[in-house]
Structure 1
Amino acid sequence: MGSKTTLSEQIYQELYQDITKQRLYCGQKLTLKELKERFGTSQTPIREALTRLTEDGLINYYSNLGVAVTEFTEADIRELFQCISEFDALAIRFCRNSFTHAPLVFELEKIVETGSKLLAEGDIESWRHYSDEAHLVFYRHAQNHYLDDSAKRLRAKIDLLSNLYYDGDPIQVENINNGHLSILECIKKGDFEEAAAIMCIHLQYNMVYALNAYKEFKEKGCGCM
């Protein structure tokens, strides 16, 4: 699988996808022995990958022998979305201070239009990327690494939660996309304060979707909450 650094990155990416897509469910325990057998390597690159996943908040060490995928309570989900909504709104407000808004408008318009096209074609899997980008674009243009670093600490957990409700009611997905369209229209008009307000409301709805998805997940006995 290549050098140690490359191997560690590959293990990290594979486990990240398995966790956020809930192929490894919340609360599931993974031993170092199992991971060594799965990846056919020593503990060193595995521990490096696990350290990054711990920093992402996706796993916790339960002993020296292994880790467990993070579990959430309803309070965790509410607090998580409260924080990320404020971070996203703040990123929008920081973008207002740019000398010109044209690069942001151009990039956001391309993201939202591409996402809408994919959604109309029924390609929700590809649309997910553009849905994420409709939030991340503001951090790129806000150019505040403290804000960016703070949001990144929450983003992995948001990925996990969003993957659950993206697979639910297609009306929810349509509502999420409509939120992106509304934010785009505000940015094009230069109304950053209204865009920030819509972003907060948009993520409050996402929080409700996440809470409902986790409730269903728990009722099915899939391990979360």
Structure 2
Amino acid sequence: MTIIKRFLSDQIYDELKMQIINQDIPFGSKIVNRTLQERFNVSSSPIRDAINRLFSDGLIESIDNTGALVVGFDADFYLEVNEILMGITNTGIQLSMQKSDIKEVVKTLKKYVALQKDNVGTVEYFKYDYEFHKTFIDFSNNSRLKKLYKQYNVLHEILLRCYYEKEIVDMQKGSIKTHEDMIKAFSENDIDKCIKLNEYHYKRAENLFKEMFKKTTKDS
């Protein structure tokens, strides 16, 4: 990897983050500072900066003088992340309806549903699912809520990618239908229905993940 001196910590952070997401750096493994310094041919400072950012993202569990421990994922961890995301997105729905132009929100939501339909069964689908729910967060005009959503969605996406199977295509198609129903409820100012549909979306993902995790554990 070519490192541009001006952006050392940014590039190292991006590289390590993608390696964790793609599981080139496994869950629960140790990242050693000295090894990273040799790999990237840099001093300890940009390595520390990158690791601190990963810690803020929730991808690092603990940091010591020699390096850092990558978070260890299991079914309980996923369920907790899923519950937090459901609460964050419910709040985004409420605030976006109160603070923003409903027509603009609906227009943006429809754009991402169309992109989801075009990418069913591909890794790109996750990006547009993220953007669909992020639309409510963006229109909530709450910067802290945006930060929370970004952090926890990274963890959520990693887990879904790790246990990605053919069965998830059916979940994606079902999610698109739920998203369309959410748009309709939101456009009609029916916030209670929109939130219930959002909760159904996350509960459905939770149930599917439980089945995938159970199968993966059994096979191993």
| TM-score, length of structure 1 as denominator length | 0.85
CA contact (8 A) 1:164 1:213 kept: no
Q: Percent identity?
A: 24
2:4 maps to 1:2: yes
2:135 maps to 1:146: no
Measure how far apart 1:62 and its partner are.
5.5
Identify the residue that residue 205 of structure 1 maps to in structure 2: 204
Identify the residue that residue 46 of structure 2 maps to in structure 1: 45
Measure how far apart 1:42 and its partner are.
1.9
Measure how far apart 1:216 and its partner are.
4.4
Q: Structure 1 pair 38/208, CA: closer, same or farther in 2 (3 Å)?
A: farther
Q: Structure 1 pair 141/80, CA: closer, same or farther in 2 (3 Å)?
A: same
Measure how far apart 1:166 and its partner are.
3.9
Measure how far apart 1:167 and its partner are.
4.2
Query: What SS does structure 2 have at the residue aligned with 1:97?
Result: helix
Identify the residue that residue 194 of structure 1 maps to in structure 2: 193
In structure 2, give the amino acid aligned to 1:211.
Answer: K
Identify the residue that residue 135 of structure 1 maps to in structure 2: 133
In structure 2, give the amino acid aligned to 1:142.
Answer: S
Query: What SS does structure 1 have at the residue aligned with 2:195?
Result: helix
Query: What SS does structure 1 have at the residue aligned with 2:61?
Result: strand
Measure how far apart 1:209 and its partner are.
2.8
CA contact (8 A) 2:99 2:141 kept: no
Distance between the aligned counterparts of 2:29 and 2:172, measured in 1? 28
2:123 maps to 1:125: yes
Query: What SS does structure 2 have at the residue aligned with 1:110?
Result: helix
CA contact (8 A) 1:187 1:195 kept: yes
Query: What SS does structure 2 have at the residue aligned with 1:24?
Result: coil
Q: Which has the higher contact order (CA 8 A, sep 6+)?
A: 1
| TM-score, length of structure 2 as denominator length | 0.87
What aligned pairs does 1:15-30 form with structure 2 within 5 A after superposition? 15-30=16-31
